[in-house]
Amino acid sequence: MNPDPALWSTRRQADAIRTRELSSRELLDAFAARIDQLNAVVNAVVTLDLERGHAAAAAADAVTARGDATGVLHGLPITVKDALAVAGLRSTGGAVELQDHVPAVDADVVAKVQAAGAFCFAKTNVPRWSGDLQTYNEMFGTTNNPWSTDLVPGGSSGGAATSVALGFTSFEIGTDIGGSIRIPSAYCGVTGHKPSFGLVPTGGYLDHVGGGTTEPDINVHGPIARSVDDLDLLLGVLAGPAPDRASAWHVELPPPRHGRIDEYRVAVWADDPACRVSAATSEAITAAGDVLAAAGATVRPDARPGIDAAAAAALGLGLLGAATTPAMSEDEYGFVLSLDGDPNLAPVDAQVVAAYAARHRDWLAMDRERAAVRRGWAAFFEHHDVLLCPVVAASPFAHLQAGSIADRMLEIDGVSRPYLDLVWWSILIGMAYLPSTVVPIGRTAGGLPIGVQIVGAYLDDRTTIAVARQLSDAMGGIEPPPFAIGAPPG
The structural domains of the chain, ordered by start, are: 5-254 (3.90.1300.10)
| pLDDT band, very low/low/confident/very high, at 465 (cuts 50, 70, 90) | very high
Residue 418 scores a pLDDT above 70: yes
Q: What is the DSSP letter of 392?
A: S
296 close to 260: Cβ distance less than 8 angstroms: yes
Q: What is the pLDDT of residue 348?
A: 60
Q: Which residues on neighbouring strands pair with residue 124, listed in sequence order?
A: 45, 81
231 close to 437: Cβ distance less than 8 angstroms: yes
Strands 265-268 and 191-194, bridge-based pairing:
unpaired
Q: For 268, phi and psi rounded to 5 degrees?
A: -125, 120
**Sheet strands side by side (includes 77-81):** 45-48, 119-124, 77-81
Lowest mean pLDDT among 110-114, 283-287, 353-357, 376-380: 353-357
174-198 confidence digits (pLDDT tens): 999 999 999 999 999 999 999 999 9
56 close to 121: Cβ distance less than 8 angstroms: yes
Where does 66-116 show beta strands of DSSP type E?
Answer: 77-81
Q: What is the pLDDT of residue 31?
A: 98
| Rg, Å, the chain Cα set | 21
From residue 345, alpha-carbon distances to 333, 340, 362 in Å are 17, 9, 20
380 close to 393: Cβ distance less than 8 angstroms: no
Residue 327 scores a pLDDT above 90: no
Measured CA to CA, the distance from residue 281 to residue 294 in angstroms comes to: 20
Q: Which residues on neighbouring strands pair with residue 22, listed in sequence order?
A: none
| pLDDT band, very low/low/confident/very high, at 116 (cuts 50, 70, 90) | very high
| pLDDT band, very low/low/confident/very high, at 357 (cuts 50, 70, 90) | confident
Q: What is the pLDDT of residue 70?
A: 82
Residues in CB range of 300: below 8 A, 6 or more apart: 265, 266, 267, 268, 384
Mean pLDDT of 135-157: 98
Q: What is the mean pLDDT of the chain?
A: 95
Q: Is the pTM of this model over 0.85?
A: yes
